[in-house]
Amino acid sequence: MAAIMASITSELLFFLPFILLALLTFYTSAVAKCHGLHRWSGRTKKRRPNLPPGAVGWPFIGETFGYLRAHPATSIGQFMDQHIARYGKIYRSSLFGDRTVVSADAGLNRYVLQNEGRLFECSYPRSIGGILGKWSMLVLVGDPHRHTLLVLRDWLPSSSSAVFSAQHEAKKFTFNLMAKNIMSMDPGEEETERLRLEYITFMKGVVSAPLNFPGTAYWKALKSRATILGVIERKMEERLEKMNKEASSMEEDDLLGWAMKQSNLSKEQILDLLLSLLFAGHETSSMALALAIFFLEGCPKAVEELREEHLEIARRQKLRGECKLSWEDYKEMVFTQCVINETLRLGNVVRFLHRKVIRDVHYNGYDIPSGWKILPVLAAVHLDSSLYEDPSSFNPWRWQVGA
């Protein structure tokens, strides 16, 4: 009997650290889960926070997969439709690993954007930061973000020589345009094309599940990120060699050259900045351009009005003896701006934003605790029939003054 008891005791002692670790993990997760509620109860013991209605979905993944399920750009998708019908335009969920409030309410979305830096701050999933870098414009908040904006504000790029060749090559065109303005890489060159192919792989990982295993899209994107940064770093070294040569007076009129000479950004900051600008400028511009072509193809009347507006501007240029567009010419593109506005509204180039609540918020009877995430869904507002008549139709004339 004594031998049996000794055996049981030794086995218990062997498993004791694992049992304690499991208990500690459970306790830590329970505390973290209730942390937001404890903060509220610590401030006021009179009531618990009145959270928006909703559901948390599956453990860990929440409702993320349902939220990200593919759907047409001109709709908000089945997930949003069902949740708005069940819970209203403001509801809570669990998305991207965080407790989240989703807003399809125009007033709350405006409130979030107006209180950026005071009540809310930019907060994208860690997988985005892992690919774009810790100095990316999408990841930075507070003073570092403002400093980077000041750097970009002081840089004024010259006009690009890239030429738009065909409608179906919108993505290639915008990549060439960004590469030219950022690093003076000419369209059609072998190095530019290799970089573009790496960028395509990189982009597939940005919008994929953050599974860093060999063969996954995220793993391939990290490899492509390293390759792209290697190209940018090599360009920086070439510029330094040119700058160190006294006889060389050549200056590249691009962001890379300006950042190296005129800003106080570190090498790592410049690398992440250029990569994030390549990402942001390419994705939004190429999608907007492709959507404009798609919508205009189905609206001949808008195409004709656009043509008349630009032919009139060209005639005035010819009378003035000018060949380049002036700021006054741009201000005369009234209907063109209407087409742009309607393309961005119906196409929803940016469907939603990632924000973090940094102070307890009370809005329209709901409490949103500090530390929660909030997703203002811009597409839901753009396609709201209470705000726009026939919201699923392409109608640029709705943006005209007095319409």
pLDDT greater than 80 at residue 353: yes
| Amino acid letter, residue 159 | S
3-state SS string over the chain? CHHHHHHHHHHHHHHHHHHHHHHHHHHHHHHHHHHHHHHHHHHCCCCCCCCCCECCCECCCECHHHHCCCCCCCCCHHHHHHHHHHHCCEEEEEECCEEEEEECCHHHHHHHHHCECCCEEECCCHHHHHHHCCCCCCCCCCHHHHHHHHHHHCCCCCCCCCCCCCHHHHHHHHHHHHHHHHHCCCCCCHHHHHHHHHHHHHHHHHCCCCCCCCCCHHHHHHHHHHHHHHHHHHHHHHHHHHHHCCCCCCCCCCHHHHHHHHCCCCHHHHHHHHHHHHHHHHHHHHHHHHHHHHHHHCCHHHHHHHHHHHHHHHHHHHHHCCCCCCHHHHHCCHHHHHHHHHHHHHHCCCCECCEEECCCEEECCEEECCCCEEEEEHHHHHCCCCCCCCCCCCCHHHHCCCC
Choose the weakest-confidence range: 16-30, 107-121, 320-334.
16-30
pLDDT score recorded for residue 27: 41
Question: Sorting pLDDT into bands at 50, 70 and 90, what band is 48?
Answer: confident
pLDDT score recorded for residue 6: 42
What phi, psi does 163 have (nearest 5°)? -115, 130
Question: Sorting pLDDT into bands at 50, 70 and 90, what band is 9?
Answer: very low
**CA dihedral sign of residues 94, 98, 100, 102:** negative
pLDDT score recorded for residue 30: 44
What are 221-259's pLDDT values in tens digits? 899 989 999 999 998 888 888 777 755 555 567 888 888
Q: Which residue has the higher pLDDT, 259 or 105?
A: 105
pLDDT score recorded for residue 240: 82
In sequence order, what are the residues at sequence separation of 6 or more whose Cβ sits closer than 8 angstroms to the Cβ of residue 189? none
Domain that holds residue 264: 140-296
Asked if the structure places residue 331 within a domain, the reply is: no
Q: Mark residue 42 as left, alpha or beta (left: phi above 0; alpha: psi -120 to 50; beta: remaining).
A: alpha
Q: Which residue has the higher pLDDT, 211 or 328?
A: 328
What are 290-299's pLDDT values in tens digits? 889 889 999 9
Tokens of 244: 């160190």
pLDDT greater than 80 at residue 382: yes
Asked if the structure places residue 145 within a domain, the reply is: yes
Report d(CA 338, CA 74) in Å as an integer.
18
Domain count of the fold of the chain: 1
pLDDT greater than 80 at residue 7: no
Asked if the structure places residue 27 within a domain, the reply is: no
Asked if the structure places residue 20 within a domain, the reply is: no
Asked if the structure places residue 46 within a domain, the reply is: no
Mean pLDDT of the chain: 79
Q: Which residue has the higher pLDDT, 217 or 31?
A: 217
Asked if the structure places residue 190 within a domain, the reply is: yes
CATH number at residue 222: 1.10.630.10
Asked if the structure places residue 34 within a domain, the reply is: no
pLDDT score recorded for residue 337: 95
Angle at 103 between CA 46 and CA 367, to 5 degrees: 5
Residue 93 pairs with which residues in a beta bridge? 100
Question: Sorting pLDDT into bands at 50, 70 and 90, what band is 150?
Answer: low
pLDDT score recorded for residue 129: 61
Select, from the ranges 81-90, 144-153, 195-204, the one with the highest average predicted confidence (pLDDT): 81-90
pLDDT score recorded for residue 169: 61
pLDDT greater than 90 at residue 302: yes
pLDDT score recorded for residue 130: 61
Residue with tokens 């196409």: 347
pLDDT greater than 70 at residue 361: yes
pLDDT greater than 80 at residue 359: yes
pLDDT score recorded for residue 308: 96
Give 391's Cβ-side CA count (13 Å radius): 19
pTM of the predicted structure, to 2 decimals:
0.68
Q: Which residue has the higher pLDDT, 165 or 273?
A: 273
pLDDT score recorded for residue 25: 39
Largest CA distance in the chain: 110
What are 180-219's pLDDT values in tens digits? 888 888 888 889 889 988 888 888 887 677 788 898 988 9
Asked if the structure places residue 271 within a domain, the reply is: yes
What phi, psi does 362 have (nearest 5°)? -120, 120
